[in-house]
């Protein structure tokens, strides 16, 4: 069982490279980038895994401060489990101190859902993580909604946010980062009651 002194591994899920940077599927990277800015760090290549990492502290100074490792797997979405598990083991992070931030089709655009454990709902990043280390990690699910008309899911998630969506995107990424900080500082129930919409 984890305790308050254990570090947290915050995993933004996405695909590496400029072609994917603004895709719906990369919203996890966007949140991770913002959190890195907030803790005053820059992503660097991890020595122990195919990933970029930032180490730092989150929350108010003193005993409430949490040691965090922010992670962006560089393995492509469907292979995220390998780098995440390698880093979890290297930093000795309990699985319930792992947080995956990811896009979610079954939640309307702009809505957030935080939870611990559960299925992968067809999300290849979660599928890979769960296969590698089991389902008992936290998720911050960033709603992107369902594809319009007959558009295939794969095409939808690998497209950039629409111009209408982009008007709110910065605010929503900011809110998602807030929800991660709340989860670490105040626990899942408080984060859910504040941010689940």
Mean pLDDT of 85-95: 97
Mean pLDDT of 101-124: 96
What is the band of 195 on the pLDDT scale with cuts at 50, 70, 90? very high
Q: Is the pLDDT of residue 1 over 70?
A: no
**pLDDT tens readout for residues 23-71:** 999 999 999 999 999 999 999 999 889 999 999 999 888 877 899 999 9
Q: Is the pLDDT of residue 83 over 80?
A: yes
Structure tokens at 92: 């000795």
The chain-wide mean pLDDT, for the chain, equals 95
Q: Report, as residue numbers or ranges, the catalytic residues.
A: 25
Structure tokens at 44: 């660097």
Helix and strand counts by DSSP (H, E) for the chain:
6, 7
Determine the Cα–Cα distance for residues 60 and 57; give it in Å rounded to an integer.
9
SS3 31: helix
The answer for residues whose C-beta is within 8 angstroms of residue 160's C-beta and 6 or more apart is 22, 23, 24
CA 83 vs CA 2, 36, 74, 89, 189: distances in Å: 21, 19, 8, 10, 29
**pLDDT tens readout for residues 3-36:** 778 999 999 999 999 999 999 999 999 999 999 9
Residue 169 has a CB neighbour count (10 Å cut-off) of 18
pLDDT of residue 59: 85
């Amino acid at each position: 069982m984890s305790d308050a002194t254990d570090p947290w591994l915050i995993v933004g899920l996405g695909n590496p490279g400029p072609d994917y940077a603004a895709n719906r599927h990369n919203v996890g990277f966007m949140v991770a980038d913002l959190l890195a800015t907030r803790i005053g760090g820059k992503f660097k290549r991890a020595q122990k895994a195919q990933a970029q990492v930032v180490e730092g502290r989150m929350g108010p100074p003193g005993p409430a401060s949490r040691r965090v490792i922010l992670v962006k797997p560089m393995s492509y979405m469907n292979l995220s489990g390998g780098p995440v598990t390698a880093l979890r083991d290297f930093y000795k992070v309990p699985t319930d101190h792992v947080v995956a931030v990811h896009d979610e089709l079954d939640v309307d655009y702009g809505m957030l859902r935080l939870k611990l454990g559960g299925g992968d709902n067809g999300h290849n990043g979660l599928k890979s993580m769960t296969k590698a280390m089991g389902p008992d990690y936290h998720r911050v699910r960033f709603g992107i909604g369902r594809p319009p008309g007959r558009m295939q899911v794969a095409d939808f998630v690998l497209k950039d946010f629409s111009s209408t969506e982009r008007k709110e995107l910065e605010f929503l990424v900011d809110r998602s980062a807030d929800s991660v900080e709340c989860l670490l500082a105040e626990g899942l129930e408080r984060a859910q009651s504040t941010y689940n919409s």
